[in-house]
Amino acid sequence: MQKTIFITGATSGFGKACAHAFASDHHRLILTGRRAERLSEEAGILHETFGVEVLTLNFDVCDRNAVKSAIESLPVEWQSIDILINNAGLAAGSELIQDGNIDDWEAMIDTNVKGLLYVTKSIFPLLLQSKCPHIVNIGSIAGKEVYTKGSVYCATKFAVDALTRAMRIDLLSHGIKVSQVSPGAAETEFSQVRFKGDMVAAAAVYKGFAPLQAEDIANAVMWITNLPSHVNINDLVIMPTAQASPGYIHKVL
Ligand code: NDP
Ligand code: 8X3
């Protein structure tokens, strides 16, 4: 059955890999992000390669009015959504809490927590139009264990973990599945963003071991969203084999 998939943060990393995976399975896509050029380029490639319909919405998840009006602007034939992938997110900076940058804190809380809430609230009525509604939140190992110089990022991912559980309870009577995927270290643009364009610092994160790739997470999302209707995966913690927890990575340098 063809489904309509709404993905936040589809311009890079996990979101982009999920878009590719769902398109290759012939689903219709709504791809969102702030970088409009990347969105339209990707939409063109997926349409040409897989022949699927792709609609793009360009907004910042932190802007509640922009989120609401973008989703309200969806043409009527796109107003039933089967799967929402709440993926947009970031870590900004890596400092001890006493040295933390307040703008970085705000960016992480506004994007990872408030953005996810704004999108979910606006998409909820469209999920009700689906026969198999499913929300997949991208959490993190950082939402399970805290680590030094990651306090506020970890706090936002602990919040995603709590919201995932709470959504599952509140949405139960609507038959909406709610799942979380909680990855460990994955090589995407994540560390470039965290270290504000310092490519040397970003590359160092992944040196000496085999990190997860975006496709590993997309494969997991595909599996979770293809299970029978009576089966839900609550949470899937996925780690690189070389990583036992955020602070324990076996590196051979
Ligand atoms: P990337 O930096 O590669 O991708 C992040 C995506 O989020 C981009 O498409 C970006 O799009 C989007 N995004 C960020 N801020 C906003 C915003 N304010 N409004 C709209 N879109 C936004 O990183 P990943 O793919 O690794 O990250 C995806 C998710 O996975 C995040 O929630 C991250 O916390 C989580 N995660 C990452 C791990 C990792 O090690 N990489 C591990 C565990 C979880 P654009 O800039 O175009 O707006
Ligand atoms: C991103 C991975 O290592 O910062 O969520 O926890 S890590």
Residue 103 backbone phi and psi in degrees, to 5: -65, -40
Per-residue pLDDT of 170-185, as tens digits, reads: 999 999 999 999 999 9
Per-residue pLDDT of 60-114, as tens digits, reads: 999 999 999 999 999 999 999 999 999 999 999 999 999 999 999 999 999 999 9
- Predicted model pTM: 0.99
Distances 137 to 1, 50, 134, 178, 230 between C-alpha atoms, Å: 22, 26, 10, 8, 19
CA of 204 to the centre of ligand 2 (A): 14
Alpha helices (runs of H) in the chain, residue ranges in sequence order: 13-24, 36-50, 64-72, 102-108, 116-127, 151-170, 190-194, 199-205, 214-225
> What mean pLDDT is reported for the chain?
98
The residue length of the chain stands at 253
Pocket residue to mutate for ligand 2, from 140, 161, 193, 251, most atoms within 8 A of Cβ: 140
CA of 88 to the centre of ligand 1 (A): 4
Per-residue pLDDT of 207-253, as tens digits, reads: 999 999 999 999 999 999 999 999 999 999 999 999 999 999 999 99
Q: Name which CATH class applies to 4-89+102-184+213-242.
A: alpha beta
Which atom of ligand 2 sits closest to the CA of residue 141? 6
Residues in Cβ contact with 48 at an 8 Å cutoff, skipping those fewer than 6 apart: none
What's the whole-number mean pLDDT along residues 33-54? 98
